[in-house]
Chain A
Amino acid sequence: MIDWCDKCEEMMQPYLDGALSDAEVEQAKHHLEQCSWCAKRYHFEERLRHYVRVAISEPMSAELKAKLSALRTPLDA
């Protein structure tokens, strides 16, 4: 007997990475539709990845942007 909650826990990272086979994706989806316990955890993981991305995005300063632009080869050179 497969414990689908365990199996889904194992598949979570590759699922979110898009690294599962089509058949495995179907298995995971099928279980997630029926099991809100796992579905919540998948959704949480997805949100966590998003939060990590957002939490650490910090725009480049205008000064640096200007410095980089100044590195270009002058057009009239």
Chain B
Amino acid sequence: MSESAPTAADTRRLAEEARARVRFEEEALDLSDQVYRVARRLVGSREEAEDLVQQTYERAFRSWKQFTPGTNLRAWLLRILTNLNIDRGRRQQRTPQTTTLDNEAGDYFLYNKLEAQVPEENPDEERVIEKLSQDSIVDALAEVPHDFRDVIVLVDIGEFSYADASQILDIPMGTVMSRLHRGRRILKKNLADGVAA
């Protein structure tokens, strides 16, 4: 190359950039457990989740300069992840399925149903929750339609704020809240349905 030798300022800038990049990559990797946890619940299998996480990090590391330092890196990574997931064509139908739910029924219905299964009168709530097995919760969540499940996964499992979830999924905050509300109800209804009448 016939270009002139880099100036001291160029060298300093390059070194600074290299340091920023390393820092970015380290910070991103520190979040990988959380990213994986979300991925695992967004897609059906462990293999798919692993592929998705790997692609997410490949893309993140490639486009690291687009990240604004000081903003929420976890949300930025999950935005990439959800976009890749959509690209994979997993969502054939974008419209949320509507599961028939009795809107008049309040929010205590699952507790009431489980409580009735405990032989003693007025049992402790710990006895009531023991009626639910880990498997039943996993199954019940798997049966929640995607659009609702994504919100539950981000807010209730990923512990994101409504605002972060809205940004990650690219839907208005009001939609996050209504899907969350409905999604939790569907989850509880699935759990209630799984309990012998």
Q: Which residues of A contact B (CB under 8 A)?
A: 6, 9-10, 12-13, 40-41, 43-45, 47-49, 51-61, 64-65, 67-69, 71-73, 75
- Summarize A's interface: helix, strand, loop or mixed: helix
Which of B54, B125, B152 gathers most chain A CB within 10 Å?
Answer: B125
Report the bound CA distance from A55 to B126 in whole Å.
Answer: 16
User: Scoring B residues 144 to 175 as 1 if CB is less than 8 Å from chain A, else 0, what string do you get?
Assistant: 00000000100011000000000000000000
A55 CB contact (under 8 Å) in B33, B40, B128, B137: B137
Considering only CB atoms, which chain A residue lies closest to B184 in the complex?
A13
Number of A-B residue pairs having CB atoms within 8 Å of each other in the complex = 97
Contact call B54/A47, Cβ cutoff below 8 A: no
Provide the main secondary structure of the chain B interface.
helix
B138 pairs with A71, CB closer than 8 A: no
Known: A13-B107, A56-B141. A65 touches B32 (CB 8 A): yes
When distances are taken between beta carbons in the complex, the residues of chain A under 8 Å from B134 are: 51, 54-55
Q: Is there an interface contact between B141 and A13, defined as CB atoms closer than 8 Å?
A: no
Q: How many residues of B contact A (CB 8 A)?
A: 41
A to B CB contacts below 8 Å, 13 in the list: A9-B108, A41-B108, A44-B125, A45-B111, A56-B40, A56-B137, A56-B138, A56-B141, A58-B46, A68-B53, A69-B29, A71-B54, A71-B58
**B125: which of A40, A61, A68 is its contact (CB, 8 Å)?**
A40
Contact B25 A64 (CB under 8 A): no
Establish whether residues B36 and A60, one from each chain, have CB atoms under 8 Å apart when the complex forms. Answer: yes
Q: Are B157 and A56 in contact (CB under 8 A)?
A: yes
Query: Closest approach, in angstroms, between the C-beta of A42 and any C-beta of chain B?
Result: 9
* Interface residues as binary, B23-62 with A (CB distance below 8 Å gives 1, 0 otherwise): 0011001001100110011000010001001100110010
- With a cutoff of 8 Å between Cβ atoms, the chain A residues found around residue B57 in the complex are 68, 71
Query: Do A51 and B25 have beta carbons less than 8 Å apart?
Result: no
Question: Are B61 and A51 in contact (CB-based, < 8 A)?
Answer: no
The reply to whether B132 and A64 contact each other, CB–CB distance below 8 Å, is no
- Measured between beta carbons, the chain B residues less than 8 angstroms from A51 are 129, 132, 134, 137
Contacts of B32 in A (CB 8 A): 60, 65, 68
